[in-house]
Amino acid sequence: MNKLATRVSQVNPSITLAITAKAKAMKAEGLDVCSFSAGEPDFDTPDHIKSAAKQALDDGKTKYGAAAGEMPLRQAIAHKLKKDNNVDYKPENIIVTNGGKHSLYNLMMALIEEGDEVIIPAPYWLSYPEMVTLAGGKSIIVATTAENDYKITPEQLKEAITPKTKLFVLNSPSNPTGSVYNPSEIKALAQVVIDHDILVVSDEIYEKILYDDATHLSIGAINEEIFKRTIISNGFAKAYSMTGWRVGYIAADINIIKAMTTVQGHSTSNVCTFAQYGAIAALESSQDCVVQMLASFAERRKIMYSAIESIPNVSAPLPNGAFYLFIDISKTGLKSLEFCDKLLTQEKVATIPGVAFGNDNCIRLSYATDMESINKGMARISNFIQSL
Ligand code: GLU
């Protein structure tokens, strides 16, 4: 066989996808698996969104569309960004992509080249550094601590910046930790970005999933100086339970959007045309479905967190966003991969090792699953830890 491209050997397969597939395969074999692996809401996509996509099929929205997305969707996204996030974008500043992951991949392809440094706070969503590598850039990983709710400080950001820094990746609420940066923390980070004249990509895919008194401040809304250095990445998967639809978007300076559209024009072309009409309905219809799903996540978070609190030798900050708990398992004496492997084999509970997110002392649990699995799975985790 011909030799594969070197870039492939420089990246790892996605562990989140691999473990989720393994858990699904074990379930299909008839095994009683509790899966806390994928960050995938267990709810069906709301009916009104499905109806809009079905209607679009009947209306013949089945052909190639503009590479950057259907204009009504780009308009709806611009409207949403103004209404929810207080940022002013024209439809021309928006590209519709094949999901949040593709948004970021396409962005890296359009922006990053050999020698560019991208600052990524750890724990990070595992695909960020791999995308940077695929684009030929270098990830500068900045470790954060549980004591600071796994958030990067302005001082840490400042220290990591070099003349080669091009981009800072901000993800709030965060995957895998669930941490939410409060408005004053966002403002302090924005000031560093402005002072050093770098770009920030704000991954806001979990913006609607907030608990207690947490609020989401979109970094670009602070002032004009940060707005022009900001790229917003978002999508429909998490808030509207549309993971399989693959619809995401980027909002940014027109030159970035044009570059991304060129990349998209030679890679994927447009996003599935009729799926985009479902996304319009998601934005333009009642947001009650989002509120209802959030209420379920809030209940599950409480139950899962109190189970963790009752298990010896593990701990986690109580996060106020997304649907993950990031649990410190270092006192068990196991590293994250071994912990997750043994837990899956012995107790049939699927979790994601923190090593995939840049922290080998922790594991990630997703509570975007039903309450019965949460109760059963947490009892099994408790048994497992006590058996060690
Ligand atoms: N973003 C989700 C997660 O972290 C889905 C899996 C993936 O795309 O990595 O579980």
Q: List domains and CATH numbers for the chain.
A: 6-45+288-387 (3.90.1150.10), 48-284 (3.40.640.10)
Q: What is the DSSP string of 152-220?
A: --HHHHHHH--TTEEEEEEESS-TTT-----HHHHHHHHHHHHHTT-EEEEE-TTTT-B-TT-----GG
Ligand 1: which atom is nearest the Cα of residue 126? 9
Between CA 352 and CA 267 the distance in angstroms is 30
How far does residue 196's CA lie from ligand 1's centre (Å)?
31
Between CA 324 and CA 121 the distance in angstroms is 17
- Residue 100 in contact with ligand 1 by CB distance below 6 A: no
State which of 16, 17, 19, 35 you would mutate to test the pocket of ligand 1, scoring each by most atoms of that ligand within 8 A of its C-beta. 16
Whole-number average pLDDT of the chain: 97
pLDDT score, position 1: 65
At 133, list the tokens.
Answer: 């590598």
At 44, list the tokens.
Answer: 């069906």
Between CA 67 and CA 380 the distance in angstroms is 47
Between CA 224 and CA 190 the distance in angstroms is 11
282 and 276 in contact (C-beta within 8 Å)?
A: no
Contacts of 155 (CB under 8 A, 6+ apart): none
How far does residue 23's CA lie from ligand 1's centre (Å)?
14
Q: How many CB atoms lie within 10 A of CB 306?
A: 11
Instruction: State how beta strands 349-350 and 34-35 pair.
Output: parallel
How far does residue 163's CA lie from ligand 1's centre (Å)?
32
Between CA 380 and CA 31 the distance in angstroms is 14
Q: What is the DSSP letter of 243?
A: G
| pLDDT, tens digit, 9 for 90 and up, residues 342-362 | 999 999 999 999 999 999 999
Higher-pLDDT residue of 144, 14 = 144
> Alpha carbon of 335 to those of 232, 256, 352, 355: distances in Å?
35, 41, 12, 8
How far does residue 192's CA lie from ligand 1's centre (Å)?
29
- Residue 322 in contact with ligand 1 by CB distance below 6 A: no
* Atom 2 of ligand 1, nearest CA residue: 39
pLDDT higher than threshold 80 for residue 54: yes
pLDDT score, position 38: 87
| pLDDT, tens digit, 9 for 90 and up, residues 243-287 | 999 999 999 999 999 999 999 999 999 999 999 999 999 999 999
- Residue 16 in contact with ligand 1 by CB distance below 6 A: yes
- CA of residue 351 relative to chain centroid, distance: 17
pLDDT score, position 113: 96
Predicted confidence band at 18 (pLDDT cuts at 50, 70, 90)? Answer: confident
How far does residue 336's CA lie from ligand 1's centre (Å)?
18
* Atom 3 of ligand 1, nearest CA residue: 39
- Residue 178 in contact with ligand 1 by CB distance below 6 A: no
How far does residue 28's CA lie from ligand 1's centre (Å)?
21
Ligand 1: which atom is nearest the Cα of residue 366? 10
Strand, coil or helix: 235: strand
Contacts of 178 (CB under 8 A, 6+ apart): 319, 320, 321, 322, 323, 324, 325, 326
| pLDDT, tens digit, 9 for 90 and up, residues 209-237 | 999 999 999 999 999 999 999 999 999 99
- Residue 175 in contact with ligand 1 by CB distance below 6 A: yes
pLDDT higher than threshold 80 for residue 2: no
How far does residue 26's CA lie from ligand 1's centre (Å)?
19
- Residue 17 in contact with ligand 1 by CB distance below 6 A: yes
How far does residue 52's CA lie from ligand 1's centre (Å)?
26
Half-sphere exposure of 166 (CA within 13 A, CB side): 18
373 and 34 in contact (C-beta within 8 Å)?
A: yes
Percent with pLDDT over 70 in the chain: 100
Could you tell me the pTM of the whole model? 0.96
Q: What is the DSSP letter of 10?
A: T
How far does residue 17's CA lie from ligand 1's centre (Å)?
7
- Residue 369 in contact with ligand 1 by CB distance below 6 A: no
* Atom 1 of ligand 1, nearest CA residue: 39
Q: Which amino acid is at 50?
A: K
